[in-house]
Amino acid sequence: MHSLAFDISHTLAGGLVLISFMMLYQDRLYSLLNVFAAHALLLALSVAWQAYIQDAPHLYVTAAIALVFKAIIIPVALHRIVKQLGIHRDIESAVGIGSTMLAGMGLVALSMVLMLRVTAEADPLAREDIAFALSVVLLGLMVMVTRRNAVSQVVGFMSLENGLVLAATGAKGMPLVVEISVAFSILIAFIVIGIFLFRIRERFDSVDISALDDYRDGRR
pLDDT of 172 above 60: yes
Q: What is the reported pLDDT for 29?
A: 83
pLDDT of 38 above 80: yes
Segments in the chain forming alpha helices (H): 2-25, 29-54, 58-65, 74-85, 97-118, 124-146, 150-170, 176-204, 209-219
Q: Which residue has the higher pLDDT, 152 or 49?
A: 49
User: How far is Cα of residue 21 from the mean position of the Cα atoms in its chain?
Assistant: 11
pLDDT of 18 above 90: yes
pLDDT in tens, 54-74: 888 888 888 888 888 888 988
Q: Which of 40, 68, 64 is nearest to 51 (CA)?
A: 64
CA angle 132, 136, 141 (to 5 degrees): 145
Residues 6+ apart with CB under 8 A from 210: 92, 148
CB 43 within 8 Å of CB 66: yes
Which pTM does this prediction carry?
0.80
Residues 6+ apart with CB under 8 A from 14: 132
Burial of 30 (0-12, 13-18, 19+ CB in 10 A): middle
CB 85 within 8 Å of CB 79: no
Range name among 9-13, 21-25, 30-34, 196-200 with the lowest pLDDT average? 196-200
In this prediction, residues 154-170 reach a mean pLDDT of: 83
Residues 6+ apart with CB under 8 A from 97: 24, 25, 27
